[in-house]
Each structure stands twice: as C-alpha cells, then as structure tokens.
Structure 1
Amino acid sequence: MVIDKIENFNMYCTNEVMKKACEFMKTHDFSKDSTGVHKIEGEDFFYVIAEYDTKNLEDGFWESHKKYIDVHYMKKGDEKIYYGNFDDMKILKDYDETGDCYILDGESQGEVIVKEESFALCYPQDVHMPGIKVNNNISIRKVIFKIPM
C-alpha cells in the first residue's frame, strides 16, 4: 500500500494504464461527475465516484481485489484506511468475480489517513478497510480508480 499526495502519483505509475490514469487525474474535473461508475478506456479501466459518511471502526469490513489495483483519491474530507496482508487474513466470503472482491477478517497491520488531494494505492495483496472516521463521522467524496493488473 502506498499513501502520498496526488501531485506525486506519477512516481508510482509502473505501466501504461497507470500513466494514462495519472494524465486523466491531472486534467479531468471530477466535481462535474455524478456518483457511480465511469468508464475510461474500454471495459477494464474505469473509476467510481463515491460519496458517503465515514463510519466507526466496528462498522467497517476488510476487502481485497484480484483483478484490479485500487487508487483511492480523496477529493473532499478525510478517512482512515486500515490495512493488512492478504496472506494473514481469513476469507469470509468467496471471491465475487463480478465485483472483483474478497471479504475477509483478520488483524490490522496499521492505519493511514487519506486527506484531501492525497491517495492510497492498494494492490491485490493489500487488504484494506476504507471509510473509517478520523475524528468525527463526516461526508466524504472520493474517486476510486480501478486499474487492471
């Protein structure tokens, strides 16, 4: 898992699709996008605009993905993301091919705070629990890029 400011995202672009995502992030006005899924390049590379209220830790859940790298790009507000390693977790729900998601259980290895204009880069081995409040429950808006492996 990587946490950094969005202006440094290009340092982590290790393939052509990530480079295109980086360019898109620099030029696109996300404030005009409605919540939900937005296709970028074919069926595999897309982003999701998410708006929700952060929650208490006990209301969160662990997730991981198999086909996509997640880039959580915070546009409004801040949230904690707890993280762990896939191999250290127990699978609670079999892999959902359609949603590209495992639901897991286990212990946190740590937490990070994703602030406005920052991002968290989550690879498939990076089990994560996003959406957790920092101090108080607040409304956030973020862009979640789904980049194929």
Structure 2
Amino acid sequence: MIVDTLGHLLENEAAYGEEIQRGLQFLRDTDFAGLAAGRHDVNEEMFYFINEYETKDAGDCFWEAHRINLDLHYILEGTERIGYSAIEQLKVRDEYSAEKDAVFFTGELVSAVTAGPGALVVCYPQDGHMTGIEAGKKEAVRKVVLKIKL
C-alpha cells in the first residue's frame, strides 16, 4: 500500500511502474467535478468509480482485496480512514469472485490511515483494505477509485 498525495506521487512518478504512472497522469488530467456517482470506463486497462457515501464505524465496514486490478483511491471531498492488512493476516469471508475481481475477508482492524481531500491510497493485490471508516465523526466522502488492470 502507498499513502501520499497525488501531487507528491506525481513529483516522483518515475519511481513507480507504468500502471501507476498512467493512473497518476489520468487523475491529474481529469476533472471529476459534476460527474455522476457510478462506474466510468476509460479504456481496456482502466475504469473508475465515483463513490459517494457517509463514513461509518469500522464494525460496519468490510475488508476486501483484488487480483486483477490495482486500486487508486483518490479523495475529492471529505475525510475517511482506510484500514490496511496483509491478506495473509485476514480470514476469507467470501471466496474470490472473478466477476467482481474481489475477495472479502474478516479480521481485526489494527492499522489505518486518515485520508482527506487530495490524498491518494494505492492498494496492491496483497493489500487487504477497508474503506469508509469514520475519522472521529461521520462525514460525507466523495472519491475516485481508479481500477488499473495489472
């Protein structure tokens, strides 16, 4: 998992693989204002969701990981905590679904980062992540989740 801001990651984009570089450039060059929540296709290698939700207690959130797509969570509005755990430390709740490119887990929340506007969290296939956790209070969040095929 990588946690930083879009600006900082762009300053050092040569340090990352081609997939992440393309994703960073796409996030930099796209105006997400006014776009509806839901799925938006970019090309055969990338698509994204505009997600809008209210944060909640960690006990009401869930762990997930992906095998085919890299996730770039880019916060547009609001603040949330995003939990992290290596998938080996979690217990499979729902087996991998190729249709959703997701496996769901249960496990204790031990580590989380707080992400506000401009923050970017990159989740690799080995990164179990739990999103939408309140950071001190319930708050509306609007973010982009860019999916990049590995």
- Regarding TM over 0.5, the answer is yes
1-structure distance, mates of 2:137, 2:9: 28
Deviates more, 1:10-19 or 1:60-69: 10-19
1-structure distance, mates of 2:134, 2:64: 17
Q: Structure 1 segments of 4 or more deviating over 4 A?
A: none
Percent identity for Structure 1 against Structure 2: 32
Match of 1:133 in 2: 134
Q: What TM-score do you get using the length of structure 2 for normalisation?
A: 0.92
Match of 1:7 in 2: 7
Q: What TM-score do you get using the length of structure 1 for normalisation?
A: 0.93
Deviates more, 1:86-95 or 1:102-111: 102-111
1-structure distance, mates of 2:28, 2:70: 19
User: Which consecutive unaligned segments of at least 5 residues does structure 2 have?
Assistant: none
State the number of aligned residues: 148
2-structure distance, mates of 1:65, 1:20: 19
Q: Match of 2:88, as an amino acid?
A: D
2-structure distance, mates of 1:101, 1:19: 23
Match of 1:40 in 2: 42
1-structure distance, mates of 2:132, 2:112: 12
Match of 1:63 in 2: 64
RMSD: 1.4
User: Which consecutive unaligned segments of at least 5 residues does structure 1 have?
Assistant: none
1-structure distance, mates of 2:69, 2:88: 18
